[in-house]
Amino acid sequence: MLGLIVRRLLQLVLLLFGISFLVFMSMHLAPGDPASIIGGPTATESDLAAIREELGLNRPVLTQYVDYIAGVLHGDLGYSFQNNQSVSSAIMTRFPQTFNLAIASMIVAILIGVPAGIISATKQNSWFDVSSTTVALAGISIPNFWLGAMLILIFSVQLQWLPVGGLSAPFWTIEGMKQLILPAITLGTASAAMIARMSRSTMLEVIRADYIRTARAKGVRKRAVTWVHALRNAMIPVITVIGLNFGFLLGGTIITEQVFAINGVGRLMIDAIAARDFPVVQGTVLLVATLFVVVNLIVDIVYAVIDPRISYD
Amino acid sequence: MASGVISPANTSVKQPKKERMLFQTFKRLCKNKLAVFGMIVIAFQILLAIFAPWIAQYDPVVQNLSKAQLGPGAEGHFLGTDNYGRDMFARLVYGARISLIVGITSVTLGLLGGLFLGLISGYYRKLDGVIMRFVDLLFAFPGILLAMLIIAMLGTSLVNVVIAISIWSIPTCARIVRGSVLSVKKQEYVVAMKSLGASDLRIIMKHILPNCTAPIIVFATMRMATAILSTAALSFLGLGAQPPTPEWGAMIAAGQDFMWTAPHMTVIPGIAIMLVVFAFNVVGDGLRDALDPNMELDT
């Protein structure tokens, strides 16, 4: 087990270097001179040269990359072209909003997805199963930015029950929770659908296993068999899906934040892409990708811990 | 060599022709009600896309401010008008054309890239490690993030969205193709072909590629759904189609500002996206079941 963890951590380090190099190079190769973006249209050639000198843009690419990585390891992600704000502090102030949204969506996805999948499997081909699998397929097909707009239309514009957007209040207050409900449903729906599909198929597999038949044959009540014997085994792959989905939710917040005007990392990224503010794009993309691979690694390890049958050799 | 016992009954059975297999697959697909629904929706979208100029009575980009924000059905506008008085139905029909073209182009390009990498990686073991590590690297960007990074690099436009979605499709496709190549490569007939001196290109084209078609068809169909959805999402974020292009995602973004006065501007394009994406998803799901060789035994 320890060997596995060490090996995976080493792979992670390599992967993180790969990610940072890819992100750095794609921003470096992007058309458009950063110096003229910073200098603006009125900058003279000597101004541009001074900016390049100051930012070290006239040094070899690899030197710039090594410097960037050295900075990243010290928590320095560079400075925004637009307002010269430190990228790390911009991300730090916005990350809590993104994180809260991702967690809340995860809760929504689990609360809907797992029970729906289990009931579907235990009552295979019933009306509940047919409608829940169809709804799950629809849930994957709904554009979540549109779902968000529709929820706003119904619950904020028509019924006026919930606020239109923003995530200004802390999540533990009533106001904060109210602000979080619609974005969490918007973002969590697709994950709920995926979790439901996964729970259903693994549950169907487990229910047909011999030990389940044995349990039933020795007289254990059906409900106990389903919720105790079967569920424990069926949940192992589901936990993986939930873990992987958390990474996707972090990525998905980018769009949801835009719909609900939440000032998170995603909005920071979108604004930066539109303004060609490369250091901010670089920092935010790097953050989301890093979180994604780290979460995936944790899921892999947890998977191996909870299921001793798994080995990655 | 494993003993190949061929019974007389087997030798007399003719090889099923390709058309017959296609027909069989189609017949099985038609038994799936959801897939039939999906195929109808897709056929409808294709018709709209081809005949857009004849179906739409109005120009999708010409503004008429005196008729702004009309509700559905008002003054000869079947689905109403938007904030610039443009006919929503015309914009929707032309939007069907955009989403189809973008979807087909990006999926085709992604498939070509994925096929190339997957075939090489599966067939030439020496290159496998390098290619698959690169693919792993691309997988480190969750969801739409890779497409966004590419757009950040290239700039915002619909063409760049096509490029971004194509590149984003490559890793998944490459993995699927590699998997099929690896399983086919071990088959005895491929080993036999090799020992008979067939060139690598011939083995790949004539024997390995045809065996990858089933998973590729399923992947391409499902990927159409993702491509259409992502194009809309990127345009919604302002990173894809720019105004006044009648792109569905951009239409939703524009409609958000008029949610109080003209909700149909947001509702209608969303329904279109959802229907089309759902259609490609269920057809893909149906195809997977229909192409599964194990199903052959049941029917």
B136 to chain A: closest CA residue: A15
Q: Residues with Cβ < 8 Å from B39, sequence gap 6 or more?
A: B29, B279, B283
Alpha-carbon dihedral A53, A58, A62, A66, rounded to 10 degrees: 10
- pLDDT the model gives residue B298: 34
State pTM to two decimals. Answer: 0.85
Two structure tokens written together for B140: 């480190």
B147 to chain A: closest CA residue: A285
- CATH 1.10.3720.10 in chain A, residues? 95-206+236-306
SS3 B87: strand
Residues 81-140 of chain B with CB under 8 A from chain A are: 133, 136-137, 140
CB of A57 closer than 8 Å to CB of A271: no
Q: Phi and psi of B57, rounded to 5°? A: -85, -20
- pLDDT the model gives residue B38: 93
Q: Is A224 on the interface with B (CB under 8 A)?
A: no
- pLDDT the model gives residue A165: 73
Q: Is A29 on the interface with B (CB under 8 A)?
A: yes
B239 to chain A: closest CA residue: A274
Residues B42, B49: Cα–Cα separation, whole Å: 10
Two structure tokens written together for A290: 């890093």
A95-206+236-306 maps to which CATH number? 1.10.3720.10
End-to-end CA distance of chain B: 32
The alpha-carbon gap from B180 to the nearest alpha carbon of chain A, in Å, equals 22
Length of chain B equals 299
Q: Is A38 on the interface with B (CB under 8 A)?
A: no
- Please name the member of B142, B237, B263 whose beta carbon is closest to the beta carbon of A250: B142
Residues B297, B299: Cα–Cα separation, whole Å: 6
- pLDDT the model gives residue B15: 52
Two structure tokens written together for A143: 């554009």
Residues A290, B287: Cα–Cα separation, whole Å: 35
Let me know the angle formed at the C-alpha of B281 by B278 and B286, rounded to the nearest 5 degrees.
125
A86 strand-pairing partners: A79
Candidates A255, A258, A288, A263; CA nearest to B231 is A255
Tell me how far the alpha carbon of residue B148 is from its chain's centroid.
19
CB contact under 8 A, A137 and B285: yes
ipTM above 0.85, yes or no: no
Letter for the amino acid at A73?
L
Spans of chain B, pLDDT less than 50: 1-13, 295-299
The pLDDT tens digits along chain A (313 residues) read: 778 788 888 988 998 999 999 988 888 887 777 777 777 777 788 888 888 887 777 788 888 888 888 888 888 888 888 788 889 999 999 898 888 899 899 999 999 988 888 888 888 888 888 888 888 888 888 888 889 988 988 888 888 888 777 777 777 777 778 888 899 999 999 889 888 988 888 888 888 888 888 888 888 888 888 887 788 778 888 888 888 788 778 878 888 998 888 888 988 998 888 888 888 999 999 998 888 888 888 888 887 777 766 655 4
- pLDDT the model gives residue B4: 44
SS3 B190: helix
The alpha-carbon gap from B143 to the nearest alpha carbon of chain A, in Å, equals 6
- pLDDT the model gives residue A304: 76
Name chain A contacts of B41, Cβ cutoff 8 Å. none
pLDDT in tens, B133-192: 888 888 888 878 888 889 888 888 899 999 999 999 999 999 888 988 888 888 888 888
B148 to chain A: closest CA residue: A273
Q: What is the SS3 string spanning chain A?
A: CHHHHHHHHHHHHHHHHHHHHHHHHHHHHCCCCHHHHHHCCCCCHHHHHHHHHHHCCCCCHHHHHHHHHHHHHCCCCCECCCCCCEHHHHHHHHHHHHHHHHHHHHHHHHHHHHHHHHHHHHCCCCHHHHHHHHHHHHHHHCCHHHHHHHHHHHHHHHCCCCCCCCCCCCCCCHHHHHHHHHHHHHHHHHHHHHHHHHHHHHHHHHHCCHHHHHHHHCCCCHHHHHHHHHHHHHHHHHHHHHHHHHHHHHHHHHHHHHHCCCCCHHHHHHHHHHHCCHHHHHHHHHHHHHHHHHHHHHHHHHHHHHCCCCCCC
CB contact under 8 A, B229 and A248: no
SS3 B13: coil
The DSSP 8-state label assigned to residue B156 in this structure reads: S
Top-tier CATH class for B32-58+78-290: mainly alpha
